[in-house]
Structure 1
Amino acid sequence: MNRREVKKHEIRQAAIIKNSIRRRRKRRRLKIQFYLALLFIFLSIIGVLAYTVLFPAKKITVMGECKYNAVEIIEVSEIKIGKSIFQIDTNAVKSRIETRLTYIETAKVSRKLPFEVLIEVSAAVPRYACKFEGSYLLASETGKILEIVADKPEGVTIISGLKLNNPKSGHYIEFLDMDQKYVFDQLKQGISSRLLDINFIDLSDIVDIQLIYENRILINLGSSIDLDYKLAHVAAVLKELDQSEEGTLNLKYWAENNQQSFFKKEKIDISY
């Protein structure tokens, strides 16, 4: 065999080896694809079974303190014993509980394998009563409307002058005037952070905001400009006043470069 024939033989052998390697790789890829397909089918079957047959709800556990008992909460949840826990729409259950049971602020619904559904609730606490069309909207700190009542509630801050869009129990306060909403949010934050005992807020005119403190001090804030600074000033002045003193604290002309307020001792009208 001459050199040329040897060279041809080597080329043929190399081609045979290369083709053999290519065939082995192809068989390996096909085998991997086959097993992946089997795994996908297996997982799909398990998924379908889990969603329809496996993991039936056998227990519903309610956690948290509120004015409703576990039976009432489970009834409103509409969760059926025996239904697969993976068929339960947890977001829909959450929405039903929070909307229909108005004194629940938040509801968290989760699955606990293999057979349990957990419902965690937190109570909504009345914080404000918003005057609206001859009634009062009793609302929590977050603005959730707990109920609509005819008589003025006790122990909450009364708010007058809010422009609201079709308020309903179980839903959140929706403002028609976004400037008013901004001022209200600022007031809430400022009052809460300074622990001011405010009984009444009048937002009928956001350039003439009025508050009543401890049913004995009328606070004229004027406009919402520099509102947080004004509230800080109010808190400082109130600390200096005698705890039995009554009157009007006027900040209508207060400004950052003219930080003056005027207090006038007088009997104030608290018939809000």
Structure 2
Amino acid sequence: MKDIVKSQPSDEIKYVNGKRVKVARRKRRSNLITYCALAVALCTAVGLVISLCFLFDLEQVEVSGLTLYSNDQVLAVGGVESGANLIRTDTDVIEKRLTDTLPYLKSVSVTKDYPHAIKISVVEETKCADIELNGKYYIAAKSGKILEVGNAVHDVSLPLVTGFQLKEPELCGELTSEDELKAKVLMQLIEAVEKSGLEKVTSIDIAERTDIIVMYDNRIKLRLGSSMDLEYKLSCMKSVIEKKLNSTFEGTLKYNNAKTGVSAFSKDAEAALENRTKPVYTAPTEDGTASVSGYTGWQTDNAPQT
């Protein structure tokens, strides 16, 4: 007598090559899920290929904040081409190309604007000084970045800096000196000049950090001493220039200290600067301000008319 084997409800009988075969329904369901997953993956891959090859082509580029370069220069250096696929475009690479190649670009932000545009926003550097080294000139930005190297002619729109001792100047490189403190002092001085409101600064001599000299309007030498309290010293001297000296005065203003203030020496009395005699004016600064209301007139034969 043959044993009777009952098939489970989950089993299904099929005939394969004339033979009865039991197929588990759970296995069939599992295979169906696998087929569906493969189909979804295939459709996704096809969609991605279509997107990369046919959709999201670059049609428009918007550039903002640009004044020193043309749009064409930015697009060429950044490698931005019309018709390029937006998905495959690497914005980080574009940003790095621009900041590494175009020195007057301080910062660059590149964003995608789907489906067909890119936006490029730039912030430009501000040049602040022209530094002399071995008969060549190097333009520096307020950020401490070198904007131009090895120029044969001085840019007269900028203060000429001497005695800085530039160290290995490179385009787009960082401003450094053989004296590691001079770069910091120079940037502090440039900022102090701006904050004090002193205009017409034509040159800066920073050969000695304890005897910084600023030339005003090519006619008045401002001896600031060390880099301490630069903005305050410049403000005092600005008050002297505007309120105590006539417009044709040529000579030297020297900051003494907080007690005796600023002394002025005409061009004919430059020798007096060495022994600190014959001061024309002294600004009292005990109150900690740059006011000139209390100037005493230590008059000499060289005193300017007020």
TM-score, normalised to structure 1's length?
A: 0.71
Counterpart of 2:3 in structure 1 is none
Following superposition, the deviation at residue 51 of structure 1 comes to 8.7
For 2:96 and 2:167, how far apart are their aligned partners in 1? 20
The alignment covers a number of residue pairs equal to 227
For residues 1-272 of structure 1, the aligned pairs below 5 Å read 52=52, 54-148=55-149, 149-197=151-199, 198-240=201-243, 241-251=245-255, 253-254=256-257, 256=258, 258-266=259-267
For 1:51 and 1:131, how far apart are their aligned partners in 2? 55
Counterpart of 2:286 in structure 1 is none
Following superposition, the deviation at residue 163 of structure 1 comes to 3.2
Q: Deviations over 1:160-216 (max 9, x none)?
A: 122333212233323443422232222122100112121111111101110101111
Over 3 Å counting, the alpha-carbon distance change for 1:220 and 1:115 in structure 2 is same
Following superposition, the deviation at residue 114 of structure 1 comes to 1.4
For 2:260 and 2:183, how far apart are their aligned partners in 1? 26
- SS class of match (1:60): strand
Bigger mean CA offset, 174-183 vs 152-161 = 174-183
Over 3 Å counting, the alpha-carbon distance change for 1:62 and 1:218 in structure 2 is same
Greater C-alpha radius of gyration: 2
Q: Deviations over 1:116-149 (max 9, x none)?
A: 1112234445431011232100223333322221
Q: Deviations over 1:42-69 (max 9, x none)?
A: 9x97996699455332322223332332
Greater helix share, structure number: 1
- SS class of match (1:230): helix
- SS class of match (1:188): helix
Over 3 Å counting, the alpha-carbon distance change for 1:125 and 1:223 in structure 2 is closer
Q: Deviations over 1:58-87 (max 9, x none)?
A: 322223332332222111111233433343
For 1:51 and 1:211, how far apart are their aligned partners in 2? 62
> More relative contact order in 1 or in 2 (CA 8 Å, sep 6+)?
1
- SS class of match (2:261): coil
- Contact 1:209/1:222 (<8 A) preserved: yes
Give unpaired runs (5+ residues) of structure 1: 1-36
TM-score, normalised to structure 2's length?
A: 0.64
- Contact 1:109/1:119 (<8 A) preserved: yes
- Contact 1:66/1:104 (<8 A) preserved: no
For 2:73 and 2:203, how far apart are their aligned partners in 1? 35
For 1:110 and 1:205, how far apart are their aligned partners in 2? 47
Counterpart of 1:29 in structure 2 is none
Over 3 Å counting, the alpha-carbon distance change for 1:51 and 1:220 in structure 2 is farther
